[in-house]
Amino acid sequence: MPLLDDTLDRIGPPDAAAQAEARERQAQLTKPAGSLGVLEDLSVRLAGIAGTCPPPVPARPVVAVFAGDHGVLAQGVSPWPAEVTGSMVENFRAGGAAVNVLARACGAEVVVVDVGVATPVVADDVVWDRNVRRGTADLRVGPAMTREEALAALEVGIGVADELVERGHDLLLTGDMGIGNTTASACLVATLTGADPTVVTGRGTGVDDATLALKTVVVTEAVARLRRPAAHPVDPVEVLSEVGGLEHAALAGFLLGAAARRVPVLLDGFIAGSAALVAQALCPAVVDHLVAGHRSAEFGHTATLQHLGLRPLVDLDLRLGEGSGAALAAPLVRSAAALLAEMATFDGAGVARKDA
């Protein structure tokens, strides 16, 4: 069976018994009920993903930064040249990018996966060569890639998740690098949530009003090609190939691969969220295996999170990508699991409960 179908088949619902046990245990811990807020919900989620209570406390997080270039840059949707994607890959390798600093701060490793960079990239332990195609075609004038390329990139992401889990990583964080990728993300979000392109097209690296207006036209036109009567919903792989990016396809596969292995994935911002919508369209149950790291300042991210039904852990006006917001949130995931595993119970500590 092809890898994608096999992966989709292996994604199950969260383990209800482990979740019930986690809720029960939270009620026994030495604190007023509910006082750890979202961290309590997160611990229940982690138990459901792992299928055990308490769930393991993640010890070996890793950020996978998927990199790809975008033909739509020819339309002038970003002031940055495409070559920045390749040079940022070198910056990741050297350890000097924001995500490297934030990953070091939370004890995560960083791997960079070239799934679609336009310029040749040298592979080593940090930078993995999984290039499917040297950048997409211009999504304003036609499909960004072929269906076969979208499927190949999806399978790259599944393979990377598998390999990282095999290497002992127990918390997977998403990252992205690709000049122009907020345009492709906006197309994915508009198509898959039904949101108006004017609402989900944002400033990306910080484009001016004129560029934002142009970007919105580009997104509106591209999304119009995918409009279908409600009775004939679009196929997620077709959406990816028409208006997506190679890193979006690989990210979607990465999420599916992690969910199939029952390892939690921490989502970064808008790019990751748009890829999560693709994964959700392929397999709705995948969402129960995801944790939203942060809310990006990119306009469309709030609509994206709403459609996924996920609450972001931090909200700091970040609009960078790379995995920066996921890395910032990783200590919270660890804390949620550790609280459930290590806190004393009322009975164990001899602490009186509140009067009935």
Ligand X SMILES: Cc1cc2ncn([C@H]3O[C@H](COP(=O)(O)O)[C@@H](O)[C@H]3O)c2cc1C
Residues annotated as catalytic (active site), given as ranges: 322
Binding region for ligand NIO (CB under 6 A) out of 33-41, 112-120, 313-321, 336-344: 313-321
128 binds ligand NIO (CB under 6 A): no
By the rule CB under 6 A, 86 interacts with ligand X: no
Q: Is 297 in the site for ligand X (CB under 6 A)?
A: no
φ/ψ bin of 350: left (φ > 0), alpha (ψ from -120 to 50), beta (otherwise):
left
Which range binds ligand NIO by CB under 6 A, 10-18, 131-139, 161-169, 266-274?
A: 266-274
98 and 208 in contact (C-beta within 8 Å)? Answer: no
333 near ligand X (CB under 6 A): no
Three-state secondary structure readout of 231-298: CCCCCHHHHHHHHCCHHHHHHHHHHHHHHHCCCCEEECCHHHHHHHHHHHHHCHHHHHHEEECECCCC
CB distance 253 to 4 below 8 Å:
yes
- Residue 58 near which of ligand NIO, ligand X, none (CB within 5-8 Å, type-dependent): none
Residues 119, 205, 220, 335: which binds ligand X (CB under 6 A)? 205
- With binding defined as CB under 6 A, does residue 75 bind ligand X? no
Let me know: does 112 contact 92? Beta carbons within 8 Å.
Answer: yes
State yes or no: residue 88 binds ligand X (CB under 6 A): yes
Pick from 159, 180, 269, 293 the residue near ligand NIO by CB under 6 A. Answer: 269
DSSP strand pairing (127-129 vs 171-177): unpaired
Are 195 and 173 in contact by the 8 Å Cβ rule? The answer is: no
**Contact between 239 and ligand NIO (CB under 6 A)?**
no
Q: Establish how many alpha carbons lie within 13 A of residue 254's alpha carbon, considering only the half-sphere containing its beta carbon.
A: 32
Q: State the residue number with the nearest CB to ligand NIO.
A: 269
Q: Does 254 bind ligand NIO (CB under 6 A)?
A: no
Binding site for ligand NIO (CB under 6 A): 182, 204-205, 268-271, 296, 298, 319-321
